[in-house]
Structure 1
């Protein structure tokens, strides 16, 4: 053998060299696979605020959100449309459309995936979750109202929670603490808090029976809002104790409450038409008839068990022939299709400039100008029809499915912050007790004189003094600091560098620091524009695209409607109706 190698030395080294090359090539080819085996889970970056859903009920239920620009590890690639992540004691699911796969997470405050868990928090409202590893708190996610989450640590007024392997902090003002059963397995459902009711049901959920006709309330807004009336002697399933005053029953993806003094607790129901509240669609109907009762059909006959309020939106479980099926308190209710209309969402009206008829001059037939008489007639109609003018903030909560709004709800907006709104819009809105939103080009407002006479031949901007005097009617949001200009047929906002856009939007907030909403100049925007709006700190943005707004719609592309000098009163009435007429 040695003799053969000596005689064939050159050939031997050539073969050895070839082998080394082959091995090197194989190593290079296999390296990505080796890295894949030893690398951590897939990491995603959230492009815009993304909803986290729980699917354990058989339907998607919102349990929180992930903030735009933040990164998260994925526990599982869940098919073509979803990522699976750790969420509390179970899993959450995030729509892939709102994410991008990135090489690694950007955060450092990791925590073990399995830790000893004893107590829990329950979010009493939408709860921001913060990272505190830098010099300031940075929000990276939220918990939805009612979501129960295990406590990882405590620090003063803050609770630490393990969010998908990342340590986050929530303030005690947003949550209640709840004792549980110690466990080291985060996937095990904890034992619920005992139910301290006067006559506790034999199992956790139990049932209530109405001692009299009993109103069911939604408590998520400032004032309790009646949703339905449970008929005397009828029953619903209990979802939770609520507090000393109320008992909680499920309604779609949220809850309504009955006064405890008006119900009694029973162990077993007398009805059979069990309904899965969480299985409702993102579609709603509005009762349009005084006969708005919902019926039990389980005994081959119609038995009314509750009456729906007229000015409300009700989730649809399904449709059977000429009947819509909704659900409340774990019980299916039938209502005939002739008694309801399909909800098309919340309208947002867009106005700009108001003048008297004789003042129109060069503004005659200009789409952004209307007469004060037309505006007054439209507002009177809204008042006569008992519309509620809701704030931009309530619209945001509605679109996140955090609250419901009356069927006759509307958002009134004014673009450009013009002085004519002081002259003509403000007194009319104040007369009817309405609220509205002004989108300001804040450079113009910053330099407007405090005492200025109205000149109908000019476009004048509100001053800071004007804004202060009208804050009982108007809230003020951003329409840029100084980017409301056209260059050719494109808005300036689309033509300047990204960082300059962000800088301008942040500067607008120095004039209106409480602003959360933005309106795109001339209705023009791109994906980059949306990113800039988010980076500047706005929670929502309004477009000029026509249409209505519903839960889970994109809050950075809110649709609006407008009325101008060519809009007839009949057209306006059809436009603002909560359902097609």
Structure 2
């Protein structure tokens, strides 16, 4: 039976390991912003929420500026606290601007740093700038990636959306109502994935989420009894290999 109480069609049953509960939300955080370690992670622990942190090393402003970005030691601490570390390319270069060889090098650089800091090899990926490309959807599974997140401002339907092209909603300081409305879509077999940047984001202030607003979202999720997980945890509900095999990639409406 599906989340609505109706029988799950055979095709859906092959993709879904079990029916999706309503109010299932994935939290993802991009760009290795220092506030992820100093502010976000303690709050997530307070509420008992899971999350994925997609890390990279920006060139501008430079990653060496630790007033703006986490150190790899701080990223390792996120892993030790139980959070997922995902791959966001090394230099935040958009995948539609890279060859297969260039993308391989970008992925490998993050994987190598994870290995050096005793962080598990990433199995999830986030598209810089939300730009997708067939280069990525063919290379990622060959390197063991199960799930990848883009944009698109819509809910994720595991029975129709390819697991390497998962849509998400972005948060900022100006779209509170859009985020709250988006959370209402986590029902009837759909999962809401949120993309958050810095809280605040001192490196790229146009994508900042104010700390007070962020905590308001967490209180809302807690008080309304949402289940908040990391991106990797989707595999508890979705047969990722079957979904990769049977669902046709669609690259439109993911920005």
Distance between the aligned counterparts of 1:533 and 1:508, measured in 2?
14
1:538 is paired with a residue whose SS is coil
Matched, 1:419 2:21: no
Matched, 1:506 2:108: yes
> 1:50-85 CA distances to partner (integer Å, 9 max, x unpaired)?
xxxxxxxxxxxxxxxxxxxxxxxxxxxxxxxxxxxx
Distance between the aligned counterparts of 1:531 and 1:541, measured in 2?
12
Distance between the aligned counterparts of 1:440 and 1:400, measured in 2?
29
Q: Which residue does the alignment assign to 1:65?
A: none
Q: Is the 8 A contact 2:154 2:182 kept in 1?
A: no
Residues paired across the two proteins, number? 175
Q: CA deviation at 1:540?
A: 1.5
Q: Is the 8 A contact 2:155 2:182 kept in 1?
A: no
Structure 1 residues 315 and 503: alpha-carbon distance in aligned structure 2, compared to 1, 3 A threshold: farther
Distance between the aligned counterparts of 1:399 and 1:566, measured in 2?
40
Correspondence for 2:155 among 523, 548, 551: 548
Matched, 1:561 2:169: yes
Q: Is the 8 A contact 1:542 1:559 kept in 2?
A: yes
Q: Which residue does the alignment assign to 2:88?
A: 479
Q: Is the 8 A contact 1:442 1:511 kept in 2?
A: no
* Unmatched 5+ stretches in structure 2: 115-119, 189-255
Matched, 1:429 2:119: no
Q: CA deviation at 1:579?
A: 4.3
Distance between the aligned counterparts of 2:55 and 2:106, measured in 1?
13
Distance between the aligned counterparts of 1:480 and 1:400, measured in 2?
28
Distance between the aligned counterparts of 2:179 and 2:150, measured in 1?
20
Equivalent residues in 2 for 1:268-347 (5 A)? 284=2, 313-317=3-7
Q: Is the 8 A contact 1:520 1:543 kept in 2?
A: yes
Q: Taking structure 2 as the reference length, what is the TM-score of the superposition?
A: 0.59
Q: Which residue does the alignment assign to 2:99?
A: 497
Correspondence for 1:467 among 52, 68, 75: 75
Segment drifting more, 400-409 vs 552-561: 400-409
Distance between the aligned counterparts of 2:28 and 2:14, measured in 1?
17
CA RMSD of aligned residues (A): 3.0
Relative contact order (alpha carbons < 8 A, sep ≥ 6): 1 or 2 greater?
A: 2
> 1:67-116 CA distances to partner (integer Å, 9 max, x unpaired)?
xxxxxxxxxxxxxxxxxxxxxxxxxxxxxxxxxxxxxxxxxxxxxxxxxx
- By percentage of residues, which structure has more helix? 2
Distance between the aligned counterparts of 1:448 and 1:496, measured in 2?
21
Q: Which residue does the alignment assign to 1:56?
A: none
1:431 is paired with a residue whose SS is helix
Structure 1 residues 494 and 551: alpha-carbon distance in aligned structure 2, compared to 1, 3 A threshold: closer
Larger Rg over CA atoms: 1
Q: CA deviation at 1:315?
A: 4.7
Correspondence for 1:536 among 123, 133, 143: 143
